[in-house]
């Protein structure tokens, strides 16, 4: 199982979209421990949305959509956190 997830920065309200095969809450914890430069500068985060997919290919496809203009619009219309 693969998960596409959306995090929101508690610092500046920016969104972070990613995908993982790990437990999504473990991944959130990694982001909140500053696992890369972007998350270090924009954290801490809260999980606002996630979706499960049976394959990495499907998860990556959805992640790419959510990072596109139409995907960001979908997030703004459907995710209210």
Could you give the count of Cα atoms lying within 13 Å of 28 in the half-sphere of its Cβ?
19
According to the model, what pLDDT value does residue 81 have? 66
Cα–Cα distance measured from residue 14 to residue 32, given in angstroms and rounded to the nearest whole number: 14
Domains and CATH numbers, the chain: 2-78 (3.40.1440.10)
According to the model, what pLDDT value does residue 80 have? 76
Which are the contacts of 28, defined by CB distance < 8 A and separation ≥ 6? 5, 7, 45, 46, 47
Confidence of residue 79 (pLDDT cuts 50, 70, 90): confident
Preceding amide of 18 cis, omega within 30: no
Give the mean pLDDT of the chain. Answer: 93
According to the model, what pLDDT value does residue 43 have? 87
Q: Which whole number is the average pLDDT over 22-45?
A: 89
Q: Quick one: which of 54, 42, 48, 45 has its CA closest to 66?
A: 48
pLDDT for 23-32, tens place per residue?
999 999 999 9
Confidence of residue 64 (pLDDT cuts 50, 70, 90): very high
């Amino acid at each position: 199982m693969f998960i596409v997830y959306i995090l929101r920065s508690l610092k500046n309200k920016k969104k972070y979209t990613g995908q993982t095969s790990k437990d999504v809450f473990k991944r959130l914890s990694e982001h909140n421990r500053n696992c890369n430069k972007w998350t270090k500068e924009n954290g801490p985060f809260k999980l606002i949305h996630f979706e499960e997919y049976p394959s990495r290919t499907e998860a990556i496809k959805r992640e790419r959509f959510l990072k596109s203009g139409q995907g960001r619009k979908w997030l703004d219309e459907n995710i209210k956190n």
